[in-house]
Amino acid sequence: QVQLVQSGAEVKKPGSSLKVSCKVSGGSFSSYAISWVRQAPGQGLEWMGGILPILGTPNYAEKFQGRLTLTADKSTSTAYMELSSLRSEDTALYYCARQLGDGFDIWGQGTMVTVSS
Amino acid sequence: AIQLTQSPSSLSASVGDRLTITCRASQGISIALAWYQLKPGKAPKLLIYDATSLESGVPSRFSGSGSGTDFTLTISSLQPEDFATYYCQQFNSYPLTFGPGTKVDIK
């Protein structure tokens, strides 16, 4: 079955950059959009952006414009989320998720990111 | 951006109760709405897509209704494993916004 496997937990300094990977196995990679969603401690779910690998064109939430870069490597079936200029408010659990129609049907296991000096 | 509101923000219920959670969109979104269940330490789980379609493997006590701006998630008979936080999400247009969530806990 299709699985999304994310890279491991990260601890980052304020002002640095973060890159999280999401490898898709067991199914098609290019045909489905991959989105990134985060949940800060005690907060709700927040959609950050998404990318359709077959086109390679990302969509970003306005809040992250200029700081967020989403890419997809079709050769390795891996999506990447890069967030720059990290601040403490970026401390969160980050998920990738596959979009099937009007729903995110498969999710990665989550990557905990801590931003602290 | 389309805003989603949910009500109530939290509720206490008992096993066997019938539960209804409401999600309202700031503008019409047809049926482009999904519902998720989130438990601590676990990834979100898709329950309902296209406002009314039950995701494969999800128990039939979960159902969704609505179109346009007003939507509901109903749990017909609450089970112990259903205590969680529930989120709606719209797919009508970018950004794909989530509602603020409804936390369901044990009375």
* pLDDT tens column, A66-95: 999 999 999 999 999 999 999 999 999 999
CA dihedral A41, A2, A98, B82 (to 10 degrees): -50
What would the mean pLDDT of A22-35 be, rounded to a whole number? 92
What string of DSSP letters covers B66-106?
EETTEEEEEESS--GGG-SEEEEEE-SSSS-PBP--EEEEE
pLDDT band, very low/low/confident/very high, at A20 (cuts 50, 70, 90): very high
Q: What does the pLDDT average to over A40-56?
A: 94
- Name the pLDDT band for A28 (thresholds 50, 70, 90): confident
- To test the contact with chain A by mutation, choose from B96, B97, B102, B103 the residue with the greatest count of A C-beta atoms within 10 A, namely B96
- What pLDDT band is residue A55 in, cutting at 50, 70 and 90? confident
Residues in chain B with CB shorter than 8 Å from the CB of A99 are: 91
Residue of B nearest to A63 (CA): B95
Confidence band, pLDDT 50/70/90 cuts, at residue A31:
confident
Does B101 touch chain A if contact means CB atoms closer than 8 Å?
A: yes
Question: Residue A15: its pLDDT value, please?
Answer: 97
Average pLDDT over chain B, rounded to an integer: 97
Token pair of B60 as six digits: 């039939």
A101 vs A3: CA distance, rounded Å: 17
**Chain A / chain B CB contacts < 8 angstroms:** 68
Phi and psi based region of residue A48 (left: phi greater than 0; alpha: psi -120 to 50; beta: remaining): alpha
Is B94 touching A (CB cutoff 8 A)? yes
Min distance A45 CA to chain B CA atoms (Å):
6
Which of A45, A95, A112 to probe the B interface (max B CBs under 10 A)? A45
